[in-house]
């Protein structure tokens, strides 16, 4: 008997005891700096001479940990091992599989700040952002554990047939390759991985290059619970080679990916090929980028709208697929909102987030990312008016700090209004009226999240139908989806709309078997 699902509460860091506990967790994690973490395939740990570092983007000289650079042969071995483990894991009763998730959730809750502190160091999350990431990971485990038990035997959904006993069972697929991004480096790998495991599949987790440390800690949590060897394998290594090899492998049954549009399309294409010896069509679960908009009309609560724009644009330095990187504002209130957005953004505290809970914005994740973002800032200066930011902030430790950067009067078809920048860059766009604003909002190839601030009932209703995004928010920010509350995933080039944290998600990791026995 399970208590009803509820979201993990966020930590109130204004309470001195919580602040002290978080500082202690940071110290604990800092004491672990400098270790090497192996590839784990079955019960074997493989340490290679060829390694790569996980760096602290606030102080890139600080090497937090090193990881073995897994090659194609390690991917190969992991798939064979996972295929072997699948032979028995698929028949482990769903309640037993769910129990691993529940026990892992309980343990992660006990060690919550340790996991969050790891993300503060490894990817530069603020305390609040890291805390929310860990809470989401816990939510995924609690939620999918319950969903798996609900789904596994769905025989009650069938209509009776005289003289037959009927069954409808959701059974697993096989070996899955789980390929997460680095930006929700705990919640996203947890979500994809535990969904696959609880549905009865075996997994190879290939962490994103900037965030292998937190991914390793997640896997270790499951290994420590006595998960049978080979059910969860950890292969760190380059996506382009090792990841791509596993995607193409004939024994791979499915790929769960979250990341960029470019890589998502590549995986979609590669997975559609049927190499010799492959006896199924691979399934792909692909969640990709966004160019999300916050729309504000002249009836809106303008202060709430300005606050919503700022949080959506600059939370975790704009490095969210759900980030509100466009603010589309109707003409009569544009100037007032733009001014307020600039004012509020100017007040955001930038710095190394391990320094304290007051830091709102940390660094961007790495040098490549910083260079890409700055090249878009360069483009932006040709396309709009720079209202705030625009140059990196230099620090003694050469951290990758970019301040909130805002461009005004950006044309809706400008590159900075169409392409995902994935950094703290906001394009403000002037719309002539609500019709125009909605057309601009829908005028990208993405369709992930969107928000509308308005007090006009007819417009709010119209947005429900016409604002073409997977996650629509009315009179609130466009980030911060909660598991089980706001099932998450986008349309068009934002991916396959898998709706993580929703009641249908586990279907993607399962196949239905119908059984009829003549009585
Ligand atoms: P990315 O560059 O696409 O990388 C994602 C993962 O794919 C990494 O683990 C990467 O490994 C791997 N990879 C790269 N090339 C590959 C290949 N050819 N075959 C197989 N795997 C490959 O994305 P990112 O920079 O980590 O994350 C940012 C992106 O994720 C943004 O576009 C963001 O919008 C998107 N995102 C979407 C959602 C959503 O729910 N829709 C949520 C979060 C983030 P390496 O790191 O080793 O290259
Ligand atoms: Mg890092």
pLDDT at 61: 98
| CB-defined site of ligand 1, < 6 Å | 179-184, 188, 206, 208-209, 238-240, 243-244, 247, 258-260, 263, 266-267, 287-290, 321, 420, 422, 448, 490, 494-495
Tell me, yes or no, whether 440 and 322 share the same domain: yes
Q: For residues 271 and 393, state if they share a domain.
A: no
Q: Across residues 385-402, what is the average pLDDT?
A: 97
How many angstroms is it from 56 CA to the middle of ligand 2? 5
In a domain, 20, yes or no: no
Angle between helices 94-110 and 187-198 (to 10 degrees): 160
Q: How far is the CA of 207 from the centre of ligand 1 (A)?
A: 10
Report which secondary-structure segment, H or E, holds 252: none
Of the bound ligands, which one is closest to the alpha carbon of residue 187?
Answer: 1
Quick one: 392 and 269 in the same domain? no
CA of 289 to the centre of ligand 1 (A): 9
Please state, as a whole number, how many other Cβ atoms lie within 10 Å of the Cβ of residue 159: 5
- Could you tell me if 178 and 193 are in contact, meaning their C-beta atoms sit under 8 angstroms apart? yes
Question: If you take atom 12 of ligand 1, which residue's CA is the nearest one?
Answer: 239
Would residue 321 show up in a list of annotated catalytic residues for this protein?
yes
How far is the first Cα of the chain from the last one, in angstroms, to the nearest whole number?
32
Task: Determine the atom of ligand 1 nearest the C-alpha atom of 290.
Answer: 34
- Ligand 1 atom with the shortest distance to the CA of 238: 47
One domain for residues 87 and 232: yes
Whole-number Å distance, alpha carbon 244 to ligand 2 midpoint, is: 22
| The pair of three-digit structure tokens given for residue 423, joined into one six-digit string | 């950094």
pLDDT of residue 1: 77
Of ligand 1's atoms, which has the minimum distance to the CA of residue 369?
A: 25
5 belongs to a structural domain: no
Ligand found nearest the CA of 237: 1
* Listed residue (435, 476, 431) closest to 452, CA to CA: 476
232 plus 327 within the same structural domain: no
Q: Per the domain annotation, does 99 fall within a domain?
A: yes
Q: Which ligand is nearest to the CA of 185?
A: 1
Q: Are 344 and 428 members of one domain?
A: yes
pLDDT in tens, 374-383: 999 999 999 9
Domain span at residue 200? Answer: 36-63+70-288+497-518
Pocket test for ligand 1, best of 245, 260, 482 (most atoms within 8 A of CB): 260
DSSP 398-435: ---B---EEEES--TTSGGGTS---SSEEEEEEESSHH
Residues 270 and 306 in one domain: no
CB 494 within 8 A of CB 447: yes
Task: Specify whether 408 is located in the same domain as 450.
Answer: yes
Expressed in angstroms and rounded, the spacing between residue 239 Cα and the centre of ligand 1 is 9
Q: Which of 122, 321, 420, 478 is catalytic?
A: 321
Q: Give nearest CA residue, ligand 1 atom 31.
A: 260
Residue with CA at minimum distance from ligand 1 atom 42: 321
Q: Looking at ligand 1, which residue's alpha carbon is closest to its atom 21?
A: 239
Rounded to the nearest integer, the mean pLDDT of the chain is 98
Which residues, including other chains, have CB under 8 Å from residue 379's CB and lie 6 or more apart? 415, 416
219 is catalytic: no
258 neighbors 61 (Cβ within 8 angstroms) = no
* CB contact at 8 A, 17 and 106: no
Structural domain includes residue 236: yes
Q: Are residues 243 and 300 in the same domain?
A: no
Q: Probe ligand 1: pick from 69, 71, 239, 271, max atoms within 8 Å of CB? A: 239
**CA gap 15, 9 in Å, rounded:** 14
Q: Is residue 23 part of a domain?
A: no
Q: What is the DSSP letter of 153?
A: B
- CATH number for the domain that contains residue 248: 3.40.605.10
Q: Over the stretch 286-319, which tens digit does the pLDDT of each residue have? A: 999 999 999 999 999 999 999 999 999 999 999 9
Q: Is 204 in the same domain as 132?
A: yes
* 127/210 Cα distance (integer angstroms): 18
In a shared domain, residues 86 and 170 = yes
* Residue 508 counted as domain residue: yes
CATH number at residue 429: 3.40.309.10
Residue nearest to atom 13 of ligand 1 (CA): 239
Is 178 domain-assigned? yes
Average pLDDT over residues 179-192: 98
Per-residue pLDDT at 345 = 98
pLDDT of residue 195: 99
**Is residue 336 within a helix (H) or strand (E), and if so which, with residue range?**
helix 331-346
Q: Single out the catalytic residue among 287, 298, 420, 478.
A: 287
Percent of the chain with pLDDT over 70: 100
Number of domains in the chain: 2
The pLDDT of residue 393 is 97
- pLDDT over threshold 90, residue 2: no
Task: Answer whether residue 120 is part of any domain.
Answer: yes
Q: What's the gap in Å between 498 CA and the centre of ligand 1?
A: 16
Residue range 207-213: average pLDDT?
A: 98
Q: What distance in angstroms lies between residue 30's CA and the mean position of ligand 1's atoms? A: 27
Query: 408: which 2 tokens?
Result: 């005004």
Indicate if 313 and 209 belong to the same structural domain. no
């Amino acid at each position: 008997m399970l208590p009803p699902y509820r979201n993990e509460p966020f930590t109130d860091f204004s309470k001195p005891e919580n602040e002290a506990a978080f500082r202690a967790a940071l110290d604990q994690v800092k004491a672990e700096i400098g270790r090497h973490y192996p590839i784990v395939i079955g019960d074997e740990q493989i340490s290679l001479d060829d390694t790569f570092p996980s760096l602290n983007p606030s102080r890139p000289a600080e090497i937090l940990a090193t990881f073995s650079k897994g090659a194609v042969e390690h991917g190969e071995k992991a798939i064979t091992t996972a295929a072997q483990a699948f032979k028995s894991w698929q028949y482990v009763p769903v309640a037993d599989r769910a129990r691993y998730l529940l026990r892992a959730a309980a343990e992660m809750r006990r060690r919550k700040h340790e996991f969050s502190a790891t993300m503060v160091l490894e990817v530069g999350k603020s305390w609040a952002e890291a805390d929310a990431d860990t809470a989401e990971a816990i939510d995924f485990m609690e939620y999918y554990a319950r969903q798996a038990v609900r789904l596994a035997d769905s025989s009650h959904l069938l209509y009776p047939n005289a003289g037959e006993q009927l069954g409808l069972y959701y059974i697993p697929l096989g070996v899955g390759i789980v390929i997460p991004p680095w930006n929700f480096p705990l919640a996203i790998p947890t979500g994809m991985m535990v969904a696959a495991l609880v549905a009865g599949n075996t997994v190879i987790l290939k962490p994103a290059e900037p965030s292998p440390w937190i991914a390793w800690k997640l896997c270790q949590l499951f290994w420590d619970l006595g998960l049978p060897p080979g059910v969860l394998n950890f292969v760190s290594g380059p996506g382009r080679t090792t990841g791509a090899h596993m995607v193409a492998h004939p024994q791979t049954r499915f790929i769960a990916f979250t990341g960029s549009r470019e890589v998502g399309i590549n995986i979609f294409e590669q997975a559609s090929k049927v190499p010799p010896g492959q006896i199924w069509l691979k399934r792909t679960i692909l969640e990709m980028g966004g160019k999300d908009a916050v729309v504000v009309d002249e009836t809106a609560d303008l202060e709430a709208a300005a606050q919503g724009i700022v949080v959506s644009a600059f939370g975790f330095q704009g490095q969210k697929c759900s980030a509100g990187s466009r603010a589309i504002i109707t003409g009569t209130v544009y100037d007032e909102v733009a001014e307020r957005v600039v004012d509020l953004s100017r007040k955001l505290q930038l710095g190394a987030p391990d320094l304290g809970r007051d830091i709102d914005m940390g660094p961007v994740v790495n040098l490549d990312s910083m260079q890409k973002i700055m090249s878009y800032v360069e483009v932006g200066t040709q396309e709009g008016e720079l209202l705030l930011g625009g140059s990196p902030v230099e620090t003694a430790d050469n951290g990758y700090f970019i301040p909130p950067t805002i461009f005004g009067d950006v044309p809706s078809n400008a590159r900075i209004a169409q392409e995902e920048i994935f950094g703290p860059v906001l394009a403000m766009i002037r719309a002539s009226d609500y019709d125009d604003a909605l057309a601009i909002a829908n005028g990208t190839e993405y369709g992930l999240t969107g928000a509308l601030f308005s007090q006009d009932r007819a417009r709010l209703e119209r947005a429900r139908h016409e604002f073409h995004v997977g996650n629509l928010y009315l009179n609130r920010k466009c980030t911060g989806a909660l598991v089980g509350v706001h099932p998450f995933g986008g349309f068009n080039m934002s991916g396959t709309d898998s709706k993580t944290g929703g009641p249908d998600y586990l279907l993607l990791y399962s196949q239905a078997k119908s059984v009829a026995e003549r009585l």
